[in-house]
């Protein structure tokens, strides 16, 4: 099975993908991962969907609305950030923008004068630090080696820091079994009470919404698609009934049901 995720090797995405398959290939963007699965170039893709501190990954939300794929699994992994460098003297810290944000308090306190450089991934930041002694990186402590050593561990501002990853698959692999379901709703309309009407079918059937977000549809300014996670499976009659109501309300647009899935926690 071909599994693709954000590279290079050593990213948090790589750690999450290793729970899915031993052999992992890398891409440079979330969009390219979802596209590879949609076009049949990969069997599975592993993409970050939400961080407990910084919130949702908007590129993932937009890719799930653009490409026809399924979500078959959720992997949750704790985020443990460390400061790595060739030595104590450096003038730049390089890492993924979310990692920099998640360690803002530590950096403000201990390295207020150091420049912060956003790169494509935490692993890319480590590559920068390995090649340049004036650059430090923020990444998982397991990426330390003979070139870059640990200067500080667990530097994230909150110990509860964790990231959810979606395992995406071709639409034919969409499952109805699982404790959670994700869907994207584009109502194709805008009027007072529309969002309430879209949510009411779930409330009427005692289905909890664990996530609701709006993203620009790309059609015109002020036009939105809604991303919804519900704590119920497609195999349940109540979920099917709620979706029928939502599809009727969104008849001027579309509803993409990404599938039901279970959650796995990876502790490494």
- The total of other beta-carbon atoms located within 10 Å of residue 204's CB is 12
Contact 100, 94 (CB under 8 A): no
Report whether pLDDT(267) > 80: no
Q: Which residues neighbour 129 within 8 Å (Cβ) at sequence distance 6 or greater? A: 84, 85, 86, 90, 94, 135, 136, 137, 147, 148
| pLDDT per position as a tens digit, 121-171 | 898 999 999 999 999 999 999 889 999 999 999 999 888 889 999 999 999
| pLDDT per position as a tens digit, 64-84 | 999 999 999 999 998 889 999
| pLDDT per position as a tens digit, 253-263 | 999 999 999 99
* pLDDT for the residue numbered 264: 92
* pLDDT for the residue numbered 163: 92
Report whether pLDDT(235) > 70: yes
- Alpha helices by DSSP H, the chain: 12-17, 30-38, 58-66, 97-102, 104-110, 122-131, 194-204, 237-249
Give me the mean pLDDT over the 56-71 stretch.
Answer: 95
Structure tokens belonging to residue 117: 């450089």
Kindly report the pTM of this predicted structure: 0.85
* pLDDT for the residue numbered 89: 93
Closest-CA residue to 34 (of 73, 8, 80, 65): 65
Report whether pLDDT(268) > 80: no
The pLDDT-based confidence of 22 (bands split at 50, 70, 90) is: confident
CA distance 35 to 227: 19
Give me the mean pLDDT over the 37-43 stretch.
Answer: 96
What angle, 0 to 180 degrees and rounded to 10, lies between the N-to-C axes of helices 58-66 and 30-38? 20
């Amino acid at each position: 099975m071909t599994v693709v995720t954000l590279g290079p090797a050593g990213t948090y995405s790589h750690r999450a993908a290793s729970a899915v398959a031993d052999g992992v290939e890398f891409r440079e963007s979330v969009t390219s991962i979802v596209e590879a699965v949609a076009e049949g170039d990969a069997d599975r893709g592993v993409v970050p969907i939400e961080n407990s501190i910084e919130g949702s990954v908007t590129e993932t939300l937009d890719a799930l609305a653009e490409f026809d794929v399924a979500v078959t699994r959720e992997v949750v992994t704790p985020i443990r950030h460390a400061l790595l460098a060739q030595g104590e003297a450096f003038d730049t810290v390089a890492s993924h923008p979310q990692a920099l944000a998640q360690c803002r308090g530590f950096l403000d306190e201990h390295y207020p004068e150091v420049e912060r450089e956003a790169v494509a991934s935490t692993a890319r930041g480590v590559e920068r630090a390995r090649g340049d002694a004036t650059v430090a990186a923020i990444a998982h402590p397991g990426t330390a080696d003979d070139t870059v050593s640990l200067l500080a561990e667990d530097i994230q501002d909150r110990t509860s820091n964790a990231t959810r990853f979606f395992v995406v698959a071709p639409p034919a692999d969409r499952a109805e079994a699982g404790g959670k379901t994700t869907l994207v709703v584009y109502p194709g309309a805008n009027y007072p009470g529309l969002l309430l009407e879209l949510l009411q079918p779930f409330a009427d059937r005692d289905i909890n919404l664990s996530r609701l977000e709006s993203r620009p549809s790309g059609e015109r300014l002020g036009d939105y698609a809604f991303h919804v996670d519900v704590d119920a499976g497609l195999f349940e009659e109540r979920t099917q009934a709620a979706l029928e109501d939502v599809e009727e309300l969104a008849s001027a647009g579309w509803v993409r049901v990404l599938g039901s899935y279970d959650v796995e926690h990876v502790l490494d």
